[in-house]
């Protein structure tokens, strides 16, 4: 349940105005993690606190103080390393009541591990990558940099926020962090933007725009990084279903190697039922048009798209390697796959979910209603208050 409306007032009464620093490499008040951070910051501003954002690039927001942290963008590993080095150099000279980082940096009081645990991602990635690529993990400068940053920040940061119990367990497993230093705060969702009510407004229009008939099952995939998000497994599952005369369409939304996956779709002979739509700013339109959301991800600390789909009132199929799967009771709001590479199991679950889509979708919406983004913001603000000087 959402917290009572007086929650922010209580924070303001308990604390004098404090000076807080937030670290986000690219700050903009939209997007998944960005919208979450914006919600936290707005609650702090409304309570009279002074908020500074340290970033490399940003979109200005009223009431905030912005500061530049330079990074050398020659390559990914140099960009990450230079940003972390400069973050420490700059913030060490300044005085704040608390420093909160949303990036892999080494000078903060609170770190939100929104990207999960890189060590665990490499372990899981070894299941899908060829041998030569697995061998390269130990010499790739980007992996070396991220693993070293993780080791330092997990050792030195006072409080770590994981966005799922799965993420918490991975941090403990790989870095032996004491359990009491890790807090779990699930991602929240905008329940007004993502709502079953959107179906009345957009379902017919979107399906008509892309020539999807009323009796066609529309499956939606949303995610950037098609390899990691398990798109190949989904294409194999769709191939099996369409060969068996189950008439389906698949919309793929997000950034990835589109040409490679178009070729894979052609190999599975499903290219005529798969539409690659790129990134979409009004993603809620596509949730409204879809019958089912599928994300057979290899690794996702907590997929925002998963809870957005649930809030939109459609069932979800994902894997146990998605932190958001902790919100799904198998067979109720959707299904959770144990084997992320089993296309046969996935095709079976797709048909089961489509047959029961209306009931499962209603349950999914009910479950999502317990995780409004305002609640996640309040929990984060409470945690910040624990770190402040008495």
Q: What is the pLDDT of residue 12?
A: 39
> What string of pLDDT tens digits covers the 390 residues of the chain?
233 223 332 333 455 689 999 999 999 766 666 778 888 898 899 989 999 999 999 988 889 999 999 999 999 999 999 999 999 999 999 999 999 999 999 999 999 999 999 999 999 988 888 888 888 888 899 999 999 999 999 999 999 999 999 999 999 999 999 999 999 999 999 999 999 999 999 999 999 999 999 999 999 999 999 999 999 999 999 998 866 556 799 999 999 999 999 999 999 999 999 999 999 989 999 999 999 999 999 999 999 999 999 999 999 999 999 999 999 999 999 999 999 889 999 999 999 999 999 999 999 999 999 999 999 999 999 999 888 876
Q: What is the pLDDT of residue 31?
A: 60
Burial class from Cβ neighbours inside 10 Å (0-12, 13-18, 19+) for residue 17 reads exposed
Provide the 8-state DSSP code for 179: G
Q: Residues 123, 143: contact at Cβ < 8 Å?
A: no
**Domain segments of the chain: what residues?**
7-188+372-387, 198-368
Scanning 71-210, the segments in alpha helix (DSSP H) are 76-92, 118-125, 131-136, 141-156, 165-175, 198, 204-209
What values do phi and psi take at 178, rounded to 5?
Answer: -60, 135
CA pair distance 142, 1, nearest whole angstrom: 41
Q: What is the pLDDT of residue 133?
A: 80
- Ranges assigned E (strand) in the chain: 19-23, 26-27, 50-55, 57-58, 65-68, 98-101, 110-112, 159-162, 182-184, 217-222, 248-253, 274-278, 292-295, 316-319, 334-337
Q: What is the pLDDT of residue 247?
A: 79
| Upper half-sphere CA count for residue 339 (Cβ side, 13 Å) | 8
Q: What is the pLDDT of residue 30?
A: 63
Q: What is the pLDDT of residue 305?
A: 96
pLDDT 10s digits, 152-187:
999 999 999 999 999 999 999 999 999 999 999 999
Provide the 8-state DSSP code for 324: G
- Residue 327 to residues 43, 227, 320, 334, 368: CA-CA distances in angstroms? 25, 24, 11, 10, 8
CATH number of 198-368: 3.40.50.2000
The owner of tokens 């779990």 is 184
Q: What is the pLDDT of residue 152?
A: 96
According to the CATH classification, is domain 7-188+372-387 in 3.40.50.2000? yes
Per CATH, 7-188+372-387 and 198-368 having the same topology is answered yes
């Amino acid at each position: 349940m959402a917290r009572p409306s007086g929650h922010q007032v209580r924070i303001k009464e308990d604390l004098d105005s404090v000076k807080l620093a937030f670290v986000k490499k690219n700050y903009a008040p939209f997007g998944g993690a960005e919208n979450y951070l914006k919600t936290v910051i707005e609650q702090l501003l409304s309570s009279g606190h002074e908020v500074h954002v340290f970033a490399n690039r940003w979109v200005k927001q009223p009431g905030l103080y912005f500061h530049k942290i330079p990074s050398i963008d020659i390559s990914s590993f140099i960009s990450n390393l230079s940003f972390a080095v400069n973050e420490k150099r700059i913030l060490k000279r300044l005085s704040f009541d608390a420093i909160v980082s949303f990036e892999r940096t080494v000078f903060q009081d609170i770190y939100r591990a929104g990207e999960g645990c890189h060590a665990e991602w490499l372990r899981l990635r070894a299941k899908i990558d060829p041998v030569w690529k697995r061998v390269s993990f130990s010499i790739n400068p980007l992996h070396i940099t991220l693993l070293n940053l993780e080791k330092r920040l997990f050792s030195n940061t006072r409080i770590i926020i994981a966005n799922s119990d799965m993420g918490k367990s991975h941090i403990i497993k790989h870095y032996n962090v004491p359990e009491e230093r890790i807090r779990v705060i699930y991602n929240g969702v905008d329940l007004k933007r993502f709502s079953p009510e959107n179906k009345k407004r957009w379902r017919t229009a979107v399906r008509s725009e892309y020539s999807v008939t009323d009796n066609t099952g529309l499956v939606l995939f949303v995610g950037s990084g098609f390899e990691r998000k398990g798109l190949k497994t989904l294409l194999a599952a769709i191939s099996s279903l369409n060969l068996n005369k189950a008439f389906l369409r698949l919309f793929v939304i997000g950034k990835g190697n589109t040409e490679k996956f178009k070729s894979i779709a052609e190999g599975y002979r499903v290219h005529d039922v798969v539409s690659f739509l790129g990134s979409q700013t009004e993603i809620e339109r596509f949730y409204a048009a879809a019958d089912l959301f599928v994300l057979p991800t290899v690794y996702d600390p907590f997929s925002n798209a998963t809870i957005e789909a649930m809030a939109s009132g459609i069932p979800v199929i994902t894997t146990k390697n998605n932190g958001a799967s902790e919100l799904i009771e198998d067979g109720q709001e959707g299904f959770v796959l144990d084997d992320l590479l089993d296309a046969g199991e996935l095709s079976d679950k797709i048909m089961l979910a489509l047959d029961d889509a209306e009931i499962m979708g209603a349950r999914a919406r009910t479950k999502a209603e317990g995780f409004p983004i305002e609640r996640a913001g309040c929990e984060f603000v409470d945690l910040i208050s624990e770190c402040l000087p008495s």
